[in-house]
Chains A and B, each alone.
Chain A
């Protein structure tokens, strides 16, 4: 099992450009999450999906959109990137009973 995979691993964008971060899990989990991690701020939830076909906003959703394409895949889109979105982005999925989360390796995004 690959667990949670994310692409790309690194990305540099110019202000105003758009891009989609991809995430897939092979653990048959219902719930999936997108976080951003900034120095000294832990992990902050952007969006989450409790099941296929549903998505909800987290703590910091502004400037992002998500798609739960199917049970395996959950993508995060930046429509018009801003320097404030420079961060490391993590995707995670969780088991339904314990809510223990399994994380991907992250995408390091720089917006200039």
Chain B
């Protein structure tokens, strides 16, 4: 069974701080996606990475896929209260589009 472990599970920081969320597995994935979910809403896709070692930037968010395609990280620079939410990583293996989700990281950014 493929599993994705996210750490930390909870993170509470002050506005302006930097943070990194990790997503690790012992299995290889063909792609890795990151989603953000706000309370009362469904997850929204942030980014997809498919190549080992790939780095993608989305404004203050930087996503990296591990060289061996078993892990990924999300780094946020100068966090803002609007970044507050649940961050989910999800791995795919082209099996009918099925994804394996991590348990999520609950981020709270205080002004």
Contact = CB atoms under 8 A, between A and B. Distances in A.
Interface of A: 4, 31, 33, 35, 40-45, 48, 50, 56, 58, 90, 92, 94, 96, 98-106
- Tell me what chain A mostly uses at the interface: helix, strand, loop, or mixed: strand
Interface residues of B, number: 23
A106 B97 CA distance: 20
B49 to A, nearest CB: 11
A83 B42 CA distance: 23
B42 A98 contact: no
A98 B104 CA distance: 22
Interface of B: 6, 9, 31, 33, 40-45, 48, 88, 90, 92, 94, 96-99, 101-104
B98 A42 contact: no
A46 to B, nearest CB: 12
